[in-house]
Structures are given as C-alpha cells and as structure tokens.
Amino acid sequence: MRFLRAAETRRADMDLTPMIDVTLQLIIFFMFTTQFAQSITSPIDLPEVPGETRQAPAGAEVVIDVTGGGVYIVDGKEVDLEWCLQAIAMEFRREDQKPPTVLVRADRAAPAVHINRLAQGLTEIGVKAWRLGAAGDGGAR
C-alpha cells in the first residue's frame, strides 16, 4: 500500500466556464424579456394633465389603449369592444385571485364616444373603478 505524501496530494480543480456561460445567458434572457414587455404598450399621445404620481399597482393590471381612430388595443392586438369587455369580465369573475385594475390610455385625438362606450361597458360588467392614463401621472408609458 502506497501512502501519498503532502507534496503529492491532488488538487480538485473546478471549471467555472459553464457557470459563467449560464449566468450570462440568464442576464441576456431577462434583458430581452424586459424590452419585449415594454414594447407591448402602443405609443399613444396621452393628454398632458396633472394626475396622481403613484406608480402602477402591485397586482395585475389590464391596459386598454384607445387610439385616435377609436380602435381598442389590448396587449398589442386590435380588438373590438365586445371582446375587450368579455375578457375583462372573465378576469373579474375569477375567484382564485384579486381582480385586476383597469387602466384606460386614450389618445388625445380619440373621439369621446369610444371612451364613453368603454366606460359604460365597464360599468355594466361590474368594474367599480378604473384609471384614465395621462402624461402627467403614473399611468403614462
């Protein structure tokens, strides 16, 4: 039987290259997903009025954009008013979570009739409170 002397002991080397590769890939992934989440909101010319300065609520939020031509946009897709209201009604009926807050971002040139129809529809499905985004408040994006 042969015993190793102190000078002959083997060192355990650890290669950190795979760990660094995975870390950099995770950083790149999170950077891209953050950019995609910000690009979902459509550019809208919001009215510039002073509003509340608090940021968006911590819970879920449904953002409805109303363009200057009266088109409703939810999650970057053009939808009609009925589909929009049905989707929000389903979210409010879910019992497993707190109901989302509704943020309406209306273009400055949007006809009031489209915003009024949306407001009436939200009232009919049971939405008691919703926010109207402006360039001076936390709802501007």
What is the model's pTM?
Answer: 0.58
- The residues facing 103 across adjacent strands are 63, 131
Give the Cα separation of 73 and 107 in Å (integer): 11
Q: Is the pLDDT of residue 87 over 70?
A: yes
Same domain, 29 and 65: no
Domain count, the chain: 2
Q: Tell which residue, 100, 103, 105, 102, has the closest CA to residue 60.
A: 100
Phi, psi of 77, rounded to the nearest 5 degrees? -115, 140
pLDDT, tens only, 37-83: 555 556 776 767 665 555 555 556 788 889 888 889 888 788 999 99
Residue 117 covered by a domain: yes
Higher per-residue pLDDT: 88 or 45: 88
Q: Comparing 25 with 75, which gets the higher pLDDT?
A: 25
Whether 127 is in a domain gets the answer yes
Q: List the single range of 16-20, 23-27, 46-50, 117-121 with lowest mean pLDDT.
A: 46-50
Separation of alpha carbons 84 and 55, rounded Å: 24
Q: Report if residue 139 sits inside a domain.
A: no
24 is in which domain, residue-wise?
12-39
Phi-psi region of 54 (alpha: psi -120 to 50; beta: other; left: phi over 0): beta
Amino acid at 68: G
